Amino acid sequence: MLSGGEKSLAAIALLFAVLRVKAVPFCILDEAESFLDSSNVNCFAQYICKLKDKTQFIVITHRKETMMYADTLNGITMQKSGISKLVSVDFNSIANKKEK
């Protein structure tokens, strides 16, 4: 009997182990860390950062802790009923502008 967080952590650990052995071009994770506590979400996000030179991650999440490690955030907002708008922020271009 494992809790939701323990099941998620086991599945994420298995996925990361496979990616360490055989990297893939991209990986889509849909709220994989939703059952984890804050400290484990930080570990999850830091580990994704370690693997991002070989694999591009697309992470669908609502967790602020995960978003803090993102290079780019994409979101959908609905300011008017029935009209969706894409909002995108590229943190790499912001960091490059600050360095200049």
Tens of pLDDT, residues 11-63: 999 999 999 999 999 999 999 999 999 999 999 999 999 999 999 999 999 99
How many distinct structural domains can be found in the chain? 2
* CB-based contacts of 10, cutoff 8 Å, min separation 6: 2
55 with 79, same domain?
Answer: no
31 with 42, same domain?
Answer: yes
Asked if residue 8 lies in contact with residue 36, where contact means CB atoms within 8 angstroms, the answer is yes
> What is the pLDDT, as a whole number, of residue 36?
94
86 with 56, same domain?
Answer: no
> What CATH number does the domain containing 52 carry?
3.40.50.300
Find the domain containing 38 and state its range.
1-69
23 with 50, same domain?
Answer: yes
Residue 91 has pLDDT above 90, yes or no: no
> What is the pLDDT, as a whole number, of residue 26?
95
Q: Are strands 83-90 and 72-80 parallel, antiparallel or unpaired?
A: antiparallel
Beta bridge partners of 93: none
75 with 65, same domain?
Answer: no
95 with 49, same domain?
Answer: no
Asked if residue 55 lies in contact with residue 25, where contact means CB atoms within 8 angstroms, the answer is yes
Q: What is the mean pLDDT of residues 74-93?
A: 89
9 with 52, same domain?
Answer: yes
> What is the pLDDT, as a whole number, of residue 30?
96
